[in-house]
């Protein structure tokens, strides 16, 4: 009679364990139906679902496995699996799969507890938990710029996705952690184009505000910018009002402002990795082409689309030239670049922070609200607020050990 057994082993990790365990099973021509292995802090945990051929009884198999485990210093247990249980397990393989990523400076038990409780409440199962980030130091002063990310692979049919996302968003607000939820599909590690908003996304400031400071209209323009990014006033109207305050400003101010711009945390690391992976990159900004091209040279960006300031006789006229790059235009440009590069929209990623970024975030295969205004964070499917831009690599499934930091890339 056929027997199906679940064998679990645990104990100190050492080279050759899997080889010796499988060698014992091989003597009985065991069929391995499933296998999984993890090592946490040099402690091994391995599970094997095996089918014992009819010509062998389980007794000698169990005896030899007990002896092998003893010689290797491992704990071992056996669980019989009925044909009905196995058939049910096989039937579950067609169910949808999702990924939940927890991102922060460190991961706390309460955060995992809250997230796993929501998963259970929606009748989903956690299949696997992986740590994508590197190991976190214990000393507090070394934790300032650490990154922590764990990824939960979950399975099941989600009946109320909107409610599920709302509950996860509530946890981010309560516990100061980012939670990304996405379908586990073929596109996840097969993206080919990433586009970025510029102001308050690739750089830490709003360029129009910096220019307005030089023109003596800093407070007025900053207030309008904030309203526009929150979606409270039309973007075209807000841009025209803000640019009008720059009338008469010398062209030389552009270089002065460009030189004091600061890249957002993780930007250089992210771009080094994107280039290494063969990505196409673009800036699609409601800001200005002068600064987009400045960043293009700095980060080796493929495309730049932004607004062109009109300059006559070395001074700004307070007008912009051509079609304004607003929210609608951003989405069109994303599609245009993807078509040019023969890339499907499912293979694109868009990153932005303001209400005018929502159309392109919605059109991209993966739209990420980065350190975004509340309306954007609530609307976009993914949001990152606690870490830098290089945390996007986690959402693509890359571990720290898979990627280069900017210093290594040099």
Give the residues across from 320 on adjacent strands: 309
Paired tokens of 352: 């932005």
Instruction: Name the 3-class secondary structure at 407.
Output: helix
- CB count within 10 Å of CB 90 equals 10
How far lies 286's CA from each of 138, 196, 266, in Å?
42, 11, 22
- CB count within 10 Å of CB 10 equals 16
Catalytic residues: 197, 199
* 179 within 8 A of 154, measured Cβ to Cβ: no
* 45 within 8 A of 38, measured Cβ to Cβ: yes
Question: What does DSSP assign to residue 229?
Answer: H
- CB count within 10 Å of CB 393 equals 22
CA torsion angle 378 379 380 386 (round to 10): -10
Strands 348-352 and 366-370, by their bridges, are parallel
**Helix (H) and strand (E) counts for the chain?**
16, 15
Side-chain-side CA neighbours of residue 325 (13 Å): 22
For Cα atoms 164, 166, 167, give the angle at the middle one, nearest 5 degrees: 65
Paired tokens of 217: 């209209």
* 283 within 8 A of 351, measured Cβ to Cβ: no
């Amino acid at each position: 009679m056929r027997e199906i057994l679940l064998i679990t082993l645990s104990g100190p990790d050492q080279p050759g364990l899997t080889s010796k365990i499988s060698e014992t099973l091989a003597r009985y021509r065991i069929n391995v139906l499933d296998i999984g292995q993890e090592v946490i802090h040099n402690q091994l945990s391995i599970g094997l679902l095996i089918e014992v051929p009819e010509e062998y009884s389980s007794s000698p198999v169990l005896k030899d496995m007990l002896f092998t485990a003893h010689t290797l210093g491992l704990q071992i247990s056996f669980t019989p699996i009925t044909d009905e249980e196995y058939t049910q397990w096989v039937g579950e393989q067609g169910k949808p799969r999702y990924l939940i990523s927890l991102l922060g400076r460190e991961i706390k038990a309460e955060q995992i507890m809250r997230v796993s409780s929501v998963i259970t409440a929606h009748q989903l199962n956690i299949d696997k938990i992986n740590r994508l980030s590197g190991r976190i130091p214990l000393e507090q002063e070394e934790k300032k710029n650490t990154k922590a990310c764990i990824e939960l692979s979950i399975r099941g049919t989600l009946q109320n996705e909107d409610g599920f996302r709302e509950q996860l968003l509530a946890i981010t607000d309560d516990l100061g952690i980012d939670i990304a939820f996405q379908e586990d599909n073929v596109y996840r590690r097969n993206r080919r184009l990433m586009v970025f908003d510029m102001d308050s996304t690739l750089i830490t400031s709003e360029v129009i505000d910096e220019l307005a400071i030089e023109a003596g209209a800093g407070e007025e323009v900053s207030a309008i910018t904030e309203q526009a990014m929150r979606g409270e006033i039309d973007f075209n109207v807000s841009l025209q009002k803000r640019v009008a305050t720059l009338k008469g400003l010398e062209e030389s101010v552009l270089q002065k402002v460009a030189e004091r711009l600061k890249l957002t945390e993780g930007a250089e690391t992210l771009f080094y990795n994107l280039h290494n992976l063969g990505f196409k990159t673009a800036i699609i900004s409601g800001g200005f082409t002068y600064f987009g091209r400045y960043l293009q040279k700095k980060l080796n960006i493929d495309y730049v689309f932004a607004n062109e300031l009109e300059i006559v006789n070395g001074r700004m006229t307070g007008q912009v030239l051509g079609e304004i790059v607003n929210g609608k235009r951003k989405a069109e440009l994303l599609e245009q670049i993807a078509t040019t590069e023969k890339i499907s929209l499912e293979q694109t990623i868009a990153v932005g922070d303001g209400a005018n970024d929502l159309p392109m975030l919605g059109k991209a295969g993966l739209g990420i609200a980065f350190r975004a205004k509340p309306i954007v964070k609530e609307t976009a499917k993914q949001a990152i607020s606690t870490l830098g831009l290089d945390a996007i690599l986690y959402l693509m499934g890359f571990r720290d050990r898979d990627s280069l930091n900017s210093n290594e890339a040099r």
